[in-house]
Amino acid sequence: MSQNDTGRTLAVKPENWDILYISLDRLPVSLMAAVLLCDAVFWAAGEVFALRAAEWLLGGVLLTGIMAAANGLFVYLSLGRLRPTRVCLLHTGGNLLVLLLSLFNLVLRINQGGDALVPAGIGLSGATLLLMMATARLARGMARRRGPDDSVRFNLF
């Protein structure tokens, strides 16, 4: 949030949102959905390409998730000394759990190959995707609060 000369908080319009945040918000979820699709293809058809593609996609989920976490940490630190709300803490904890589940899923696949896919790999991918969608829903509730002048205000903390 920024302040004008009178000390009042200025509203942030949606077209001024950070393009990096918009990209990093959706990319890990999309990649995890692709992992689940690759898992289904490998399970149904036995295509080894789908298994290898899922491993690479999981690496992409981890990389973009870490980048999103770094971006969130940067935003938190740049806002100054604020107390996070319960929703913010749930969102952060959920995202950390997503990163840990994705890492475990990737290590399991690298160590055991296709044998790890059914049912553990598919179950981990599905649970991780559902958790990602839940934390994204929490983030939507945190980031968009309507102000009295019907403009969007950031309310992360």
Measured between alpha carbons, how far is 152 from 14 in angstroms, rounded to an integer? 7
pLDDT number for residue 12: 47
Higher pLDDT, 28 or 18: 28
Of 132, 142, 139, 138, nearest to 28 by C-alpha is: 132
What is the CATH code for 16-143? 1.20.120
Higher pLDDT, 75 or 7: 75
Domain residue ranges of the chain, discontinuous segments joined by +: 16-143
Measured between alpha carbons, how far is 18 from 39 in angstroms, rounded to an integer? 33
Task: Return the structure tokens found at 119.
Answer: 């049912």
pLDDT number for residue 40: 93
Measured between alpha carbons, how far is 132 from 113 in angstroms, rounded to an integer? 24
pLDDT at 21 over 90: no
Express each pLDDT in 98-112 by its tens digit.
999 999 999 999 998
pLDDT at 25 over 80: no
| Cα dist from 104 to 11, 59, 75, 110, whole Å | 41, 11, 28, 10
Q: Which residues contact 20 (CB under 8 A, 6 or more apart)?
A: 71
Higher pLDDT, 54 or 19: 54
Task: Return the structure tokens found at 146.
Answer: 């309507």
Using pLDDT thresholds of 50, 70 and 90, give the confidence band for residue 46.
Answer: confident
Using pLDDT thresholds of 50, 70 and 90, give the confidence band for residue 142.
Answer: low
Compute the mean pLDDT over every residue in the chain, rounded to the nearest whole number.
79
Measured between alpha carbons, how far is 152 from 49 in angstroms, rounded to an integer? 44
Burial 14-23 (b: 16+ CB within 10 A, else e): eeeeeeeeee
